[in-house]
Amino acid sequence: MAWYSYLMLTLIGVITGIINVLAGGGSLITLPILIFMGLPPSVANGTNRLGLLVQTITGVISFKKQGISNFKFALALSLVAILGAILGVQIAIDMSDELFKKVLAGVMIFVLGFVLFRQKITRQKIESSTRLKQAMLFLSFFFIGVYGGFIQAGVGFIIIATLAYFTSFDLIRINAIKIFVVSFYMLVSLGVFVYHDKIHWPAAVFLALGTGLGGWLGAKINVSRGEGVVKVVLVVAVLGFVCKLLFF
């Protein structure tokens, strides 16, 4: 790679780090760029994971400094998601690229509609809900871990929709929990890629520098601007994600 490619990766990392914290889908930008720069798809996927890990860690720290954290609840979900991620990184999905794109686009549209138009009625928080509802939540996060461990792109939308359904948290707190969970299972998936030597380290480091800053800024924007800005970014990110899947 030319020297300016690494500088471009850092800038792209800042942008996608902000997008990932506020909504999700940033990997849909970084993965094609890494492949365009000459990395094999599997190496691009592994290279992308370091930036995602750094971004989520800085995001968690930023949320914590602003008083937005629920570590006990998020840690419980993270442990379940890690189990799923261990399985996810070992799974080979027997599905054509075209069918996969269409299915994933449909999921994203559903997630967008669910998050934006869910009723504003008062819900009991998961801590005081039924055992069945708790079991369903943790089972959901197991499968989220499977998906995140396998491909990751768009998992933020799925986590947002799941937490929006099972809890009464606003989107700010949901995003804080989301990146906490992702940071934990990302360690697992990154470790697998490292073990199989599927990381281009120079590109990974420069991308991580950008995503780390983007994750920090995204958390600050999230808290300072409130739920409204999260919804705007969510709409733009999901629609862009769907268009990319269906038409490009």
Question: What pLDDT does 169 receive?
Answer: 85
Residue 125 banded pLDDT, cuts 50, 70, 90: very low
Q: At residue 1, does pLDDT exceed 80?
A: no
Q: What is the pLDDT of the chain when averaged over all its residues?
A: 79
C-alpha span between 166 and 189 (Å, rounded): 26
Share of the chain above pLDDT 70, in %: 77
Residue 209 banded pLDDT, cuts 50, 70, 90: very high
Out of 64-78, 96-110, 180-194, least confident range: 96-110
Terminal Cα distance for the chain, rounded: 25
Residue 87 banded pLDDT, cuts 50, 70, 90: confident
Nearest Cα neighbor of 184 from 67, 85, 63 is: 85
Query: In this predicted model, what pLDDT tens digit does every residue of 38-86 receive, in sequence order?
Result: 888 778 878 988 988 988 888 888 888 888 877 888 999 999 999 999 8
Residue with tokens 């499968």: 143
Residue 127 banded pLDDT, cuts 50, 70, 90: very low
Residue 2: both structure tokens together = 């030319």
Query: In this predicted model, what pLDDT tens digit does every residue of 2-13 receive, in sequence order?
Result: 778 889 999 999
What pTM does this model have? 0.74
Out of 35-49, 82-96, 131-145, least confident range: 82-96
C-alpha span between 180 and 178 (Å, rounded): 5
Share of the chain above pLDDT 90, in %: 18
Residue with tokens 């069945």: 132
